[in-house]
Amino acid sequence: MLYVFALILSLAFIVLGIVRWKIHPFFVLFIAAIGYGFITGMGVPDILNAINEGFGGLMGKIGLIIFFGVVIGTVLEKSGGAMVIAEKMIHVIGEKSIHLAMLLTGYLMSIPVFADSAFIMMNSLNKALSQRAKKSYAGTSVALGLGLFATHVMVPPTPGPIAAAGILKADLGNVILWGIIVSSIALVPSYFFATKIASKTKIPIFLENVKEKGYRPKLWISLLSILVPIFLIVLKSVFDYPDAHLTSSVLYPPISFLGTPVIALLLGVALSLMLPRKLDERVYSATGWFGEALKSAAPIILITGAGGVFGKMLQSSGIAELITENFSDLSIGLFLPFLLAACLKTTQGSSTVALITTASIIAPIMPALGLDSSFMATMTVLAIGAGSLVVSHANDSFFWVFTQLTGMDVKQGNKTLTLGTLVLGVSAILVIFAITVVIG
C-alpha cells in the first residue's frame, strides 16, 4: 500500500502544483519524482541514479528530435509556408465544404506547428470564409480546433507523442503510421459534431479589413520539410519490420540512417531553410527564428526530461513488480492509460503534460497490463494521446485562445470545444480498441 499511497500523493501534488499553485510543470514533476523516491524508502544513491538515468537517457533519445520538430514548425510559420499549405487545402476542398476544409487544414498544420499558434494563424482566414460561405462561424472554428487537436496528440513529430513514444520505447514510424489512421477515423464523428451540433451555436463575425502582403514560398517547398521526414521515418519502420525481410537489402543501410528520427528531422530542418526569401541571421541566429524555436522547445524538453525522471523513479522503486503480482488478471489494458491521461488532462489542462506524465507512470507496468509488445506499445502511445484530449476547458490555454478569438463566452466554449474534444477523445480510444481486437 505504501507504493500506491506514494503514487497517489505524487499525482495529487502534480495536479495541485500545476493548477492551484501555478508552479512550472518541470519543477512539479521533478519534485514529485524525488518525493516518491523518499516515501517509498529508496536510498539516496538509487534516487540520484534514477534522476541521472531518467533525464539523461530520455534526452539522449528524443531531446534533439523535439527541438528539430519545433524548428521546422517555427520556420514554416514565420516564412508563411504554413499559410500557403492552408490556403491550398481550402482551394482544393472548396469553400462550400468549409467545415471539411478547416478540419483537414488544422489536421495537417498541427503536425509541425503548435495548435495554439496554428489556430491564431488560421482564425482570420476561417472567419472570412465562414462569412463568405454563410456557414456558422462556431461550427467551422470547432472543426479547425478538433483537426488541430487530433494530430497535436497522436501524430509525431508533434512534441507530445514524440515524448510518449520515447518513454514507452515505441517505434516512432509505427506511431506516425497508426496515429494517422486512428486520428483520421476518429475525426469522422468529430466532423459531424462540428457540422450538426456546434454549428447551432450562433456568434457574430467581426472582420478586420486587413490585406496580407509579402513573400509566400511555393507549396511544394512548404510541404517538403513536413512530408520528407515522415516518409523516411515510416520507410525505416517498414524496412525494420521482421516479416518484411528487408534488412539484408542494399538499400537498408542508407534508409536505416536517413530514417532514424533525429536524422530525418535534421533533414527536415535543412529543407525548411528553402522557405525564407533570404537566408540570413533573421532566420538562423540566436535572436532569430532558430532562437525563438529554442525558447519554445526548451520547456517541452525539460518537462519531458522530468517525466523521464518520474518514470525511472517508479521503475526503480519496484512498483512494476507489485502491480504485476496484484493486477496481472485485471483485463483493463489500454483503458488504464486512456483514463489516467484523461484525468490529468481534465485536471491540469496541458495535453503535453498529460501525455508525458501518463507515459512515465505506465512505462514500468506495461507487462502487467499486457502492453509490452511492439504493437501494443504503439497503441498505448495513441491511447494516452486520446486520453489527453478529454477534455479542453477553462484550465487549458487553447480553450482561451479559441474562445477569445471567436468571441465565445465560457458557456459557449464548453458547448462547442469542450464537448468536441470529448467526442474526439472517446472516438479515438474506441477506434484503438477495435484495431487491437482485430489485429492484436
Contact 179, 155 (CB under 8 A): yes
Cell numbers found for residue 114: 503548435
pLDDT of 210 higher than 70: no
- Number of Cβ within 10 Å of residue 345's Cβ equals 30
Cell numbers found for residue 250: 542494399
**Residue 211 binned pLDDT confidence (cut-offs 50, 70, 90):** very low
How far is it, in rounded angstroms, from Cα 186 to Cα 174?
18
Strands of 63-145 (E only): list them: none
How far is it, in rounded angstroms, from Cα 107 to Cα 104?
5
Helix (H, G, I), strand (E, B) or coil at 433: helix
What does the domain layout of the chain look like in residue ranges?
Answer: 2-439
pTM of structure: 0.84
pLDDT of 317 higher than 90: no
Helix (H, G, I), strand (E, B) or coil at 289: helix
More confident residue, 429 or 127: 429
Which range, of 108-117, 153-162, 280-289, 411-420, averages the lowest pLDDT? 108-117
Span 233-269, pLDDT tens digits: 989 888 887 777 788 889 999 999 999 999 999 999 9
Picking from 145, 85, 181, the residue whose alpha carbon sits closest to that of residue 379 is 181
Contact 363, 315 (CB under 8 A): yes
How far is it, in rounded angstroms, from Cα 425 to Cα 85?
26
Give CA separation, 410 vs 238, 342, 389, 418, in Å.
46, 21, 18, 10
How far is it, in rounded angstroms, from Cα 170 to Cα 160?
13
Helix (H, G, I), strand (E, B) or coil at 286: coil
Task: Return the CA Rg of the chain.
Answer: 22
Span 344-358, pLDDT tens digits: 898 878 898 889 989
